[in-house]
Structure formats: structure tokens, C-alpha cells
């Protein structure tokens, strides 16, 4: 019987797909499954597991054996420390053997791994810690600082683990069920909600294969790279779990991002399959670094936001490939893809793609699915009902889907999903800010940026820079209003609420939209 991995043509991928076939890719079954075993231990002896480019120019490679050993030692350390199954272990490290080892060691133990962004400030981190209540927090350094802030959490700096790991056993046999929790992935959710964790079970590795095979186009022999941070959805699922589950090495970037350094990595590692946010492709375009390098990819994909026309033209003109969009949500997974590397499929500029195998997707209105060309909400059929994915869009006569903006107020900037409410609350913590409202506005480089309209009587325009640094220090180096407008008052609805629709209309009018 042929494997789902043998299908390389678009029509066959759609017609022959079976959800059960995804289970055939794994050792586990519907009674016993461990995500770490599927991603790490079963591939020992099959070569490289990690290719890491560091911001300082260093590169590291580690094989599956090294990752299996590190993660098993960490799982034993957790057990000895009293971390029980289901306990949360927060991991705030840059990509490294220690980061991946800690994540998969936690999952082996049967605890829940919670990757966290390393640039979180005290308030940004506190929001997540207060929500997931971890037993342990693993950090790069400054353990004493975080112990003082979170006295109820065991905080360990990664350097302090060396001797304890050396003393721990290099073997650990996991025992988890498919529906046991494995990972918490934080997302900003909607504008009117604070960050919340999407809870993923070990079973998630099975359904993820739809994105891996048809959205990213992963196949044996690929030399893969995804520069997105594994603290967020794209880097965690498509950049880490998806390739490892198929025995393909992770390619990751560690530290402050520079497009020139990324291009060096793509060349040095001989990368053939790149998955990145559109902003990364834009930054490569503007850096000019790719002109002198020998990066010759076979598959290129992107997700998180639409790709602007200038960048699309650059990618196609430079690499001779059409970049393939991949679309979905944290809650339902990837539902629309462009089938990278599949024969018989035409990538259409500006389109999200066509439904992934196994999914029924439509653009719906109040009465259900709409005909081609009509604007509505993108939705996927689940349990007999249409689940709206909170994006507007349309579908053409050939079945290609097109994006038409967010249905809510989530801000997606350079692939990061941000909560406007979280930024607003940070702004309001400043003693000189009376009111604040945050909206997303178009930006050529990042697709969209957070813009804050702030009421701060008596302040000069220079106050905007002070506010930006204030928010960075409290939330994150990436989550702050890149545009700030000081206003005398904010528009209000009859009920007294801030009228964000009017703010958006004003921003559009000023930009000439």
C-alpha cells in the first residue's frame, strides 16, 4: 500500500486523502501517543535534527541522538524535581539544543511545555505566568530577577542545569495518551482579550501533517529552514514540530534578526525549503544580501499575513519560484494551502490558495456559503457547521480563496499576532496617559503596525518616543505602538465606548486610502 508521502500530484492529493492515513506516519496510535517520541526518539540514527544560525555568526548542528539524550535527561530531572504529569514548564530560551531539549523533555515527562518569547518584559511575562501557573520556568540568565517576581515558581537558568543533566539518566520512556496535554501556545487572541494559551494535545502532531505536507511541502531530503521564533505558532508548529515529526532537521535562527545573517545561513546550510513570514522576504529584498549568495530553493512558503506585490515580484524574479501562501488559524489549523512542490497545481498571485485535503472551506454570509466573487467570512466545515475563522474574503470561479482583512481587531504585524488591549493597558499604566486606543494600520514593510491614539494633556510630540520605550519595557521588544498620535480626545460611541471604527476611518483618510 502506498504512503500518503508518495503522493506528489495535486489532483491525487485531494482525491485520495484519508484522515486515517495520517496516523500511519507515526509509531503511536489512538491509545498511546507521545509527541516527543514521534519528533525525536524514533529518528535517532537518521542524521541531523537541528541546524541553528546564531545572530553572532556561529552555527551549530546537532543530530537526533544528541537531542534525544538531552531531552531524556531533562525529563528525568523534571521527575526528580517533583514535576508531575500535566504540570506546566515554561521555557524562555532562544533556539538552541537546550531550548529544544527542554521542550521535548517536558513533553516526554507528560508535563506541558510552554515556550515563551525571550524579549518579554516583566508585565508581558507575568500575564503568561499568571495564566498557565508553571511549576518551573527555564531562562537564559537573570534567574534571581525572575525568582523575585515569581516566588512561587522554580526558576532555573539554563547554565545551572549542566551538572544536574550530566547526573540524570539519558533514557526516558514516555507514557502519554493522544488527548493528554502536551503544549501551550500563546496567542494574543482578539483585541478585547488578554493573551490566552491554546492548549494542544499529543494528537496535534497528527493533524499538523496536513500543513506539513501540503502547506510547507515537506518531504524527505528537504533541507528546511524557518526563521520564525518557536515561542509563537509558526515557529513552534511549522518550524519545529512539523519537520521533526517527519525526520527532517529543524533550521532556526537564534538571537536578534538580521536578514544578511539569515541569507548566510540559507547558503551555508544548503537550504532547499524556506518557510517565513512575508516580512522576512521583504527584509531580504531590502537588504540586497541575496544577490551575492548561492541560495537556490526548491520550495518557498509564507503565512501570517498577505504578501505585498513588490515582494512577490522580488521572490519570483530572484528565485524563479512563486511563493506559496498557507492559511489557517491557531484554533483549527491550516485549511487553505498552495501545495508547494506538487505537480498539476498553479500558484496564483494574491491568492491564499485552495482548500487543504480533508477540509471543506467556503466564504459564508448570514445565509450560508456565498457564490464566487462575493465578499464574506472565510469558514471551515466542522461537525456539520460552518466555523468562521474571523477573516473576510472571497473565492473565485476556479476555487482560489482571497483574503480581505480581519473580521476583528487583532493586529498582525510582521507575522506577530498582537493584542491591542494589552498594548492599551501598558500605555494606560503611564502616569501621564489619560486615554489610549490602539488600532492596526497598513505598513509597507510589516503589513500592518499598531498605531496608538493617546490623550496626554500638555505633552509634546517627543512624548511618543518615551511611550514606545515604556511599552517595550513592560511588554516586549516587538509589541509596542510603532506609530503614536497625541490627540485632545478620542471619539466615543453613544454608549461611551471608544469608537475604533472612526479611528480606522481617520487613519485611512490620512493615508489617502
Residues paired with 379 in a beta bridge = 362, 388
- Mean pLDDT over the full length of the chain: 92
Segment holding 362, helix H or strand E: strand 361-365
Cell representation of residue 226: 524557518
Residues paired with 376 in a beta bridge = 393
The CA distance from 492 to 301, in Å, is 42
pLDDT at position 99: 98
pLDDT at position 314: 93
Task: Name 236's Cβ contacts closer than 8 Å, sequence gap at least 6.
Answer: 115, 183, 185, 230
pLDDT at position 415: 82
pLDDT digits (tens, 9 = 90+) for 28-82: 999 999 999 999 999 999 999 999 999 999 999 999 999 999 999 999 999 999 9
Q: Give, as one character, the DSSP assignment of residue 304.
A: S
pLDDT at position 189: 41
Query: Average of pLDDT values for 151-173?
Result: 96
Closest CA to 63 of 51, 52, 47, 40: 47
pLDDT digits (tens, 9 = 90+) for 379-437: 999 999 999 998 889 999 999 999 887 666 678 888 887 878 789 889 989 999 988 99
pLDDT at position 282: 85
pLDDT at position 228: 93
Q: What is the dihedral of CA 410, 411, 417, 423, to 10 degrees?
A: -90
**Percentage above 70 pLDDT, the chain:** 95
Q: Are 243 and 224 in contact (CB under 8 A)?
A: yes
Q: What is the largest CA-CA distance in the chain?
A: 75
CATH fold of 411-510: GMP Synthetase; Chain A, domain 3 (3.30.300)
pLDDT at position 2: 64
Give the CA distances from residue 288 to residues 262, 281, 312, in Å, rounded to whole numbers and listed in that order: 12, 11, 15
More confident residue, 1 or 406: 406
Kindly list the domain boundaries of the chain, sorted by start residue. Answer: 411-510
Query: Average of pLDDT values for 18-28?
Result: 96
The CA distance from 83 to 102, in Å, is 13
pLDDT confidence band for 459 (50 / 70 / 90):
very high
**Percentage above 90 pLDDT, the chain:** 75
pLDDT digits (tens, 9 = 90+) for 299-349: 999 997 778 788 899 999 999 999 999 999 877 889 999 999 999 999 999
Q: Give, as one character, the DSSP assignment of residue 159.
A: G
Q: Which of 84-88, 101-105, 272-276, 408-412 has the lowest mean pLDDT?
A: 408-412
Kindly tell me if the per-residue pLDDT of 468 is higher than 80: yes
The CA distance from 195 to 451, in Å, is 19
Give the CA distances from residue 349 to residues 41, 88, 323, 379, in Å, rounded to whole numbers and listed in that order: 40, 42, 9, 22
pLDDT digits (tens, 9 = 90+) for 266-285: 999 999 999 999 889 988 98
pLDDT at position 136: 98
DSSP labels, 222-255: --EE--S-TTSHIIIIIIIIHHHHTT--EEEEES
Kindly tell me if the per-residue pLDDT of 26 is higher than 70: yes
Give the pairing type, strands 136-139 and 154-157.
parallel
Q: Are 265 and 57 in contact (CB under 8 A)?
A: no
pTM: 0.84
Q: Are 83 and 180 in contact (CB under 8 A)?
A: no
Phi, psi for residue 190 in degrees, rounded to 5: -90, 165
Q: Are 305 and 277 in contact (CB under 8 A)?
A: yes
pLDDT at position 412: 83
Amino acid at each position: 500500500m502506498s504512503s500518503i508521502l508518495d503522493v506528489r500530484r495535486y489532483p491525487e492529493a485531494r482525491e485520495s486523502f484519508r484522515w486515517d492515513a495520517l496516523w500511519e506516519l507515526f509509531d503511536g496510535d489512538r491509545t498511546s501517543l507521545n509527541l516527543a517520541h514521534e519528533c525525536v526518539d524514533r529518528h535517532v540514527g537518521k542524521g541531523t535534527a537541528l541546524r541553528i544560525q546564531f545572530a553572532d555568526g556561529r552555527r551549530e548542528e546537532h543530530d537526533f541522538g544528541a537531542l534525544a539524550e538531552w531531552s531524556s535527561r531533562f525529563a528525568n530531572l523534571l521527575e526528580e524535581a517533583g514535576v508531575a504529569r500535566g504540570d506546566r514548564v515554561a521555557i524562555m530560551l532562544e533556539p538552541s539544543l537546550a531550548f529544544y531539549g527542554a521542550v521535548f523533555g517536558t513533553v516526554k515527562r507528560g508535563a506541558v511545555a510552554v515556550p515563551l518569547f525571550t524579549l518579554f518584559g516583566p508585565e508581558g511575562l507575568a500575564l503568561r505566568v499568571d495564566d498557565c501557573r508553571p511549576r518551573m520556568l527555564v531562562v537564559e540568565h537573570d534567574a534571581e530577577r525572575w525568582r523575585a517576581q515569581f516566588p512561587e515558581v522554580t526558576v532555573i537558568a539554563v547554565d545551572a542545569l549542566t551538572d544536574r543533566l550530566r547526573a540524570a539518566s539519558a533514557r526516558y520512556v514516555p507514557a502519554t495518551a493522544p488527548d493528554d496535554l502536551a503544549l501551550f501556545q500563546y496567542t494574543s487572541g482578539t483585541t478585547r482579550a488578554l493573551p490566552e494559551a491554546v492548549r494542544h494535545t499529543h494528537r496535534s502532531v497528527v493533524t499538523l501533517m496536513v500543513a506539513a505536507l501540503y502547506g510547507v511541502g515537506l518531504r524527505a531530503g528537504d533541507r528546511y529552514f524557518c526563521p520564525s521564533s518557536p515561542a509563537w505558532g509558526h515557529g513552534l508548529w511549522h518550524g519545529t514540530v512539523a519537520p521533526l515529526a517527519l525526520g527532517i532537521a529543524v533550521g532556526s535562527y537564534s538571537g536578534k534578526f538580521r536578514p544578511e545573517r539569515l541569507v548566510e545561513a540559507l547558503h551555508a546550510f544548503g537550504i532547499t525549503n524556506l518557510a517565513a513570514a512575508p516580512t522576512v522576504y521583504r527584509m531580504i529584498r531590502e537588504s540586497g544580501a541575496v544577490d551575492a549568495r548561492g541560495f537556490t530553493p526548491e520550495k518557498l512558503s509564507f503565512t501570517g499575513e498577505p504578501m505585498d506585490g513588490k515582494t512577490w515580484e522580488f521572490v519570483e524574479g530572484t528565485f524563479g519560484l512563486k511563493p506559496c501562501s498557507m492559511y489557517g488559524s491557531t484554533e483549527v489549523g491550516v485549511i487553505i494551502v498552495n501545495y508547494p512542490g506538487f505537480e498539476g497545481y498553479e500558484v496564483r498571485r494574491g491568492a491564499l490558495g485552495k482548500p487543504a485535503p480533508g477540509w471543506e472551506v467556503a466564504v459564508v454570509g448570514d445565509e450560508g456559503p456565498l457564490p464566487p466573487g462575493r465578499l464574506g467570512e472565510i469558514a471551515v466545515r466542522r461537525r456539520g457547521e460552518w466555523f468562521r475563522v474571523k477573516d473576510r474574503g472571497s473565492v473565485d470561479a476556479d476555487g482560489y480563496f482571497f483574503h480581505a482583512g480581519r473580521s476583528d481587531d487583532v493586529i498582525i504585524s510582521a507575522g506577530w499576532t498582537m493584542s491591542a488591549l494589552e498594548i492599551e493597558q501598558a500605555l494606560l499604566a503611564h502616569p501621564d496617559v489619560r486615554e489610549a486606543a490602539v488600532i492596526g494600520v497598513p505598513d509597507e514593510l510589516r503589513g500592518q503596525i499598531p498605531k496608538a491614539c493617546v490623550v496626554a494633556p500638555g505633552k509634546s510630540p517627543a512624548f511618543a518616543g518615551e511611550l514606545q520605550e515604556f511599552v517595550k519595557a513592560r511588554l516586549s521588544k516587538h509589541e509596542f505602538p510603532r506609530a503614536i498620535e497625541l490627540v485632545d480626545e478620542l471619539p466615543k460611541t453613544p454608549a461611551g465606548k471608544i469608537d475604533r471604527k472612526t479611528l480606522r476611518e481617520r487613519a485611512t483618510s490620512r493615508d489617502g486610502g
